Amino acid sequence: MHESELEEPVKLRLIGRMTFAPGALGGSVRVPGDKSISHRALMLAACSAQPVSIRNLNKGRDLYATCNALRALGAVIQWSGADAIVTGGSLHDAVDTIDCMNSGSTARMISGVCAGANLHARLDGDASLRRRPMEPVAAQLRAFGARIETTDGRLPAQIAGTSEPQTLGFILLSPSAQVKTALLLAGVFSRTAITIAGDKGSRDHTERLLRYWGAALSSDRERVVLKSAPVSFQPVRVAGDFSAAAFFIVAATVTPGSAVRIENVGVNPTRTGLLDALQAMGAKIRLENARDDCGEPVADIMVEHSPLRGSAVGQQIAVRAIDEIPVLAVAAAFARGETRITGVGDLRNKESDRVAAIVRLLDATGIEALASDDGITVRGGIPRARGAAIETHGDHRTAMAAAALASGAGALEIDDPASIAVSFPGFIEMWQAAQAAA
Q: Please give the sequence-ordered ranges of beta strands (E in DSSP) within 30-70, or none if there are none.
A: 52-55
Q: Are 123 and 98 in contact (CB under 8 A)?
A: yes
Nearest to 301 by CA among 316, 321, 318, 284: 284
CB contact set of 277 (below 8 Å; sequence gap of 6+): 311, 313, 317, 321, 328, 331
Letter for the amino acid at 281?
M
C-alpha separations of 211 from 86, 114, 177, 416 in Å: 19, 22, 16, 40
Reported residue count of the chain is 438
Q: What sign results for the dihedral spanned by CA atoms 273, 274, 276, 281?
A: positive
Longest dimension (CA), the chain: 61
How far apart (Å, rounded) are the C-alpha atoms in residues 132 and 66? 17
Burial of 154 (0-12, 13-18, 19+ CB in 10 A): middle
Q: Are 89 and 48 in contact (CB under 8 A)?
A: yes
Taking each helix axis as running N to C, give the angle between helix 354-363 and helix 325-334, from 0 to 180 degrees, rounded to the nearest 10.
30
Letter for the amino acid at 83?
D
**Coil vs helix vs strand at 179:** helix
Nearest to 37 by CA among 57, 60, 67: 57
Contacts 24+ apart (CB under 8 A), 126-130: 126/101, 126/102, 128/102, 128/351, 128/352, 128/394, 129/100, 129/101, 129/102, 129/103, 129/104, 129/155, 130/154, 130/155, 130/156
Nearest to 178 by CA among 211, 149, 204, 198: 204
Q: Are 168 and 193 in contact (CB under 8 A)?
A: yes
Q: Answer yes or no: 99 catalytic.
A: no
* Active-site residue (options: 204, 323, 346, 395): 323
Q: Which strand (E) or helix (H) includes residue 389?
A: strand 389-390
Catalytically active residues, by annotation: 323
